[in-house]
Structure formats: C-alpha cells, structure tokens
C-alpha cells in the first residue's frame, strides 16, 4: 500500500510509514462495520452503525424507526444489514464472565 502522507510504497501490514513516520494503520479494526455482541436490542445493527459513525445509539434507533415507518418499505433494510454486517469477533470485546451461555 501507499503512505497517505508521503506517497511512498510501504509494507501492507505496516502501522507506521518507514519513510516519514506517520501512522498509517491501527484504526482499521475500530472503523469496521460490525454488529457488537453486547448491548444489542435485536441484531446489533443500530449499535454497529452508532459505533461506526460515532453517534448515540438511541439516535440511530430513532432514525431507523422513522425510516421504517415513513418510507413504507418496512424492515427490509434492517434485515439486509443484519445479513450483510458481520458479527463482532468474540475475542475482541467480550469481558470475562459476560460470555453468553450457548451450550444448551
Ligand atoms: Zn510516509
């Protein structure tokens, strides 16, 4: 890949440009659109969008609901987002002891 600052070719997995020292990686994981496992109401779609755009999750839910009601297309966009958005990887966020009991 290329450094955004100096434009030189650097390693694909580099976090810092070897030429100018500018940080080029590191924020990729946080800006990924995923459905968080904790704090979700239905599928975590609204929560994922709120974290992605760094806005309040309640605002996202209100916008979603208004869109659903006003547009007349129902919850189809939500279901599409549910299917398309990957689930957050387990190891990243689950605190010790908060693991859901799935072995029923
Ligand atoms: Zn550079």
Average the pLDDT over 94-102 and give the result: 55
The residue extents of the domains of the chain are: 29-89
pLDDT at 23: 79
Residue whose pair of structure tokens reads 């208004």 in the numeric block: 66
Gap from CA of 61 to ligand 1 centroid (Å): 40
Gap from CA of 53 to ligand 1 centroid (Å): 27
Distance (Å, whole) CA 14 – CA 42: 37
- Least confident segment among 25-34, 39-48, 59-68: 25-34
Please enumerate in sequence order all residues whose Cβ is within 8 A of that of 4, keeping only pairs 6 or more positions apart, or say none: 22, 24
In the three-class reduction of DSSP (H, G, I as helix; E, B as strand; rest coil), residue 32 is classed as: coil
Residue whose pair of structure tokens reads 């072995």 in the numeric block: 103
Gap from CA of 91 to ligand 1 centroid (Å): 32
Q: What is the pLDDT of residues 57-92, one digit of tens each?
A: 899 889 888 988 888 887 888 889 889 888 888 765
pTM across the whole model:
0.53
């Amino acid at each position: 890949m290329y450094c955004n600052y100096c434009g030189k070719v650097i390693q694909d997995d580099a976090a810092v440009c070897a030429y100018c020292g500018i940080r080029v990686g590191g924020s990729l994981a946080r800006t990924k659109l995923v459905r968080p496992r904790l704090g979700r109401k239905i599928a975590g779609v609204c929560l994922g969008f709120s974290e992605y755009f760094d806005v309040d999750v309640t605002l996202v839910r209100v916008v979603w609901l208004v869109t659903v009601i006003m547009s007349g297309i129902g919850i189809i966009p939500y279901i599409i987002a549910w299917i398309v958005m990957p689930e957050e990887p387990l190891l990243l966020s689950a605190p010790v002891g908060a693991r859901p009991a799935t072995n029923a």
